[in-house]
Amino acid sequence: MKTKLLSLALFAFALFFSASLFAQTAGSMTFNFTTVKQGSATKQVDAVWIENAVGIFIKTNLLYIGDGTSDHLPQFSLKSGANGIATNGNGGVQDATTGNTINAITGATRTSSTAPLAWGPYSVSWDGKTGATTPVLVPDGSYKVWVEMAWIDGTPDTHDFINTGYSFTKGASIATTNPANAGPLSAMTLTWTPSALSLDSVYKTKIAIYPNPSNGIINVQYNDIPVSNIDVVNVLGQIVKSLKIDSSKSETSQSIDLSGNANGLYIINVSTNETSSSYKVVLDK
């Protein structure tokens, strides 16, 4: 009997471990950052890409570079599988314009007249998939978003570089980090949001129902949420109270009087035009 129980336990653990190991959560990574002008620099080339935990290239997010600067992103060139030596420079760097940029944002070297500007806010995203003609969702785990930049600062044709990576976890939970400023990079926010984390789940973190248990008055507080309707349902599934909310107003709470209702369990449904969340409340007068 003990042997069977042990075998079942090991089998269950193996299933759990296998599911965790090969989970492939759909979602998106958003990386916002601002580039700050360095010295007298007037132009800037940029590359942002995703690598896995062991440094293997996954996908390019964006590449801003021109033919005359194709040797200015050596690490991106190496990681993205660029081929052919850049025609400019000293001949020791691959041509970054030939790297893997499938489904990436691409464009010329950034200047004072481009959009985005050479120095200012940027936003990139990643859908959790490989950079391929037929993208494939990658396994959950630790990943890095890498940033490489080059700019002319001071002496003509003397370039400064930055190459740095920021880790995040792709998985079933929201994960947000705010990397410290580095060189020309500032105001950075890095967030992974799984698709399965619906508006319902997000809203539940911003809605408060109190007191619970209640002696008759129930308060529903909602912050930064466009609530359109609040329904109170009894254990028989009957709506005993219903409030229509004008979401255009600045109200952030509602009080519901259940003093005329029988003691027991009630469900509070808080709805927007997109979704709804449910909360259990006990009425004990």
**pLDDT value at residue 18:** 37
**Residue range 2-24, pLDDT digits in tens:** 444 444 443 333 333 333 445 78
Q: With the CA atoms of 276, 278, 279 and 280 taken in that order, what torsion angle do they form, in degrees rounded to the nearest 10?
A: 160
Radius of gyration of the chain (CA): 27
**Residue range 107-133, pLDDT digits in tens:** 999 988 888 888 888 989 999 999 999
More reliable by pLDDT, 66 or 133: 133
**Helix or strand (DSSP H, E) at 203:** helix 199-204
Q: What is the mean pLDDT of the chain?
A: 82
